[in-house]
């Protein structure tokens, strides 16, 4: 019988390849990522989740949840303000401001205790370590969009209060002619041209 071919070295990393001749079967185990310096399995600083690796979002952490809620509520509040629903935009903007500020303030700073040797711990998002950067960006983005949503809602309500007579006249008009006469209650400027009833 001719000699069997030696296994190709390029297939040594194939988890589905048959074991070399003479080696007993082994149960399958997931492969550990290799470090850049070679060798090694598990727990190194270069691996995801290690001390030097990228931090993962923890949905159980209230600070991280509030930062994400602030961003989502701020964006939706801004969209509702643009689409002419200022009441919902005002509510979402106020919630986004609350969540964003509480996420940035976060936990109070703990001072070092010389009697027990407990070191000082930073407060707020700084207490999260590497996970603080994306959460801080989300909280700040939520504050920015919440501010814009609140400005849109405030300008909408201010416009309705300033030109209340025009809006009441337009809503109460029974004919097109009466509706057009309500334009006399608007100022003769760009804003009046935008709000006036078109012929």
Q: Whose CA is closest to 66, among 145, 123, 125, 147?
A: 125
**Which has more confidence, 175 or 53?**
175
Query: Quick one: 94 exposed, middle or buried, by C-beta within 10 A (0-12, 13-18, 19+)?
Result: middle
Question: What is d(CA 34, CA 11) in angstroms, rounded to the nearest whole number?
Answer: 17
Question: What is d(CA 196, CA 12) in angstroms, rounded to the nearest whole number?
Answer: 78
Question: What tens digit of pLDDT does each residue of 151-166 get?
Answer: 999 999 998 888 888 8
Question: What tens digit of pLDDT does each residue of 96-107 get?
Answer: 999 999 988 876
pTM of the model: 0.60
State how far Cα 196 lies from the chain centre.
39
Q: How confident is the model at residue 60, as a pLDDT?
A: 80
Q: Has residue 110 got a pLDDT over 70?
A: no
Q: Has residue 121 got a pLDDT over 80?
A: no
Q: Has residue 192 got a pLDDT over 80?
A: no
pLDDT mean over 171-191: 84
Question: What tens digit of pLDDT does each residue of 38-67 get?
Answer: 444 444 444 444 444 445 667 788 888 899
Q: How confident is the model at residue 82, as a pLDDT?
A: 92
Question: What is d(CA 170, CA 195) in angstroms, rounded to the nearest whole number?
Answer: 11
Please give the mean pLDDT across all residues of the chain: 77
Rounded-to-5 percentages of helix, strand, coil across the chain: 55, 0, 45
Q: Has residue 123 got a pLDDT over 70?
A: no
Q: How confident is the model at residue 190, as a pLDDT?
A: 80
């Amino acid at each position: 019988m001719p000699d069997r071919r030696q296994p190709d070295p390029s297939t040594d990393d194939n988890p589905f390849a048959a074991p070399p001749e003479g080696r007993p079967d082994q149960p399958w185990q997931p492969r550990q990522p290799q470090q850049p310096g070679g060798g090694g399995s598990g727990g190194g600083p270069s691996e995801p989740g290690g001390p030097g690796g990228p931090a993962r979002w923890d949905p159980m952490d209230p600070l991280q949840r509030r930062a994400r809620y602030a961003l989502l509520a701020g964006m939706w509040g801004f969209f509702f303000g643009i689409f002419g629903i200022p009441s919902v935009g005002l509510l979402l903007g106020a919630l986004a401001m609350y969540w964003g500020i509480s996420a940035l303030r976060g936990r109070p700073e703990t001072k070092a205790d010389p009697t027990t040797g407990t070191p000082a711990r930073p407060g707020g998002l700084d207490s999260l370590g590497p996970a603080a950067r994306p959460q801080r960006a989300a909280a700040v983005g939520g504050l920015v969009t919440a501010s814009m949503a609140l400005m849109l809602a405030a300008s909408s309500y201010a416009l309705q209060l300033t030109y209340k007579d025009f809006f009441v006249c337009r809503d109460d008009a029974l004919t097109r002619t009466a509706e057009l006469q309500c334009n006399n209650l608007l100022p003769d400027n760009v804003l009046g041209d935008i709000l006036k009833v078109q012929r």
